[in-house]
Amino acid sequence: MAVEFFLRLRELGVPALVIAGNHDPKERLEALARLKTGSVDAVITDPPYGTGGWKRPEPGQGASPYARKVVEPWDAFSLAWLPEALRVTRGPVVFFLPQSRLEEALAFARERGLPWRLLVWGKPDPRPRPTGPAYAFEPVLALRPLPGRGKDLHLASSPRPGRDGEATGHPHQKPVGVMAWLVELASRPGEVVMDPFMGSGSTGEAALRLGRG
């Protein structure tokens, strides 16, 4: 279980944490609920968007004219994890979210009197869309003040199989450089960073590179 992994890391004195597990949102919430209040210094994560992903019927990589959009049950967008994340961390909670859900998340912050900051991941070469403009940025919302210095905008391309060495094939993989930007903004060296929705492992790798583990 993810929580046992976390507790073992804490016993060993390892200052970086990624909660692993399957895609079950219930398991993620249970893991968060079992952690002590204020046991980490920052939460940086990429929860499910509810937008689904393109599935191709045949094996392989890249675009396919036969691909179709599929939304898995675990991919439903929800803010149910946020209260627990705010309880577990002493510092900020930083998370990606779709543009269509930004107002919902801001309403959550306003209702609780939480200071917030909007960050932007800009994509120089976004994937083209059949209709309408390409999605050239992703919003990132930070709840509570950010202790680090830097900019609220970071430019980086999405990892693509066959082009980028770090590409894992994960449908929503975030570049390690993007996660490093957020780790530097949200934490200090030696602090504990938690990702309750680990996918491709970019948050953990960024934390390790920057002395958070």
- Pure H helices in the chain: 2-12, 25-33, 82-88, 102-111, 176-186, 202-209
Number of domains in the chain: 1
Q: Which residues contact 80 (CB under 8 A, 6 or more apart)?
A: 25, 29
Token pair in block for residue 61: 């990589």
pLDDT digits 0-9 by tens, 102-156: 999 999 999 999 999 999 999 988 888 778 898 899 999 999 999 999 999 999 9
Q: What is the pLDDT of residues 61-104, one digit of tens each?
A: 555 555 565 665 555 778 999 999 999 999 999 999 999 999 99
- In terms of residue numbers, what domain contains 160? 2-209
Ramachandran area for residue 70 (φ above 0: left; ψ -120 to 50: alpha; else beta): beta
CATH number for position 52 = 3.40.50.150
Pick left, alpha or beta for residue 74 (phi over 0 → left; psi -120 to 50 → alpha; otherwise beta): alpha
pTM of this prediction exceeds 0.85: no
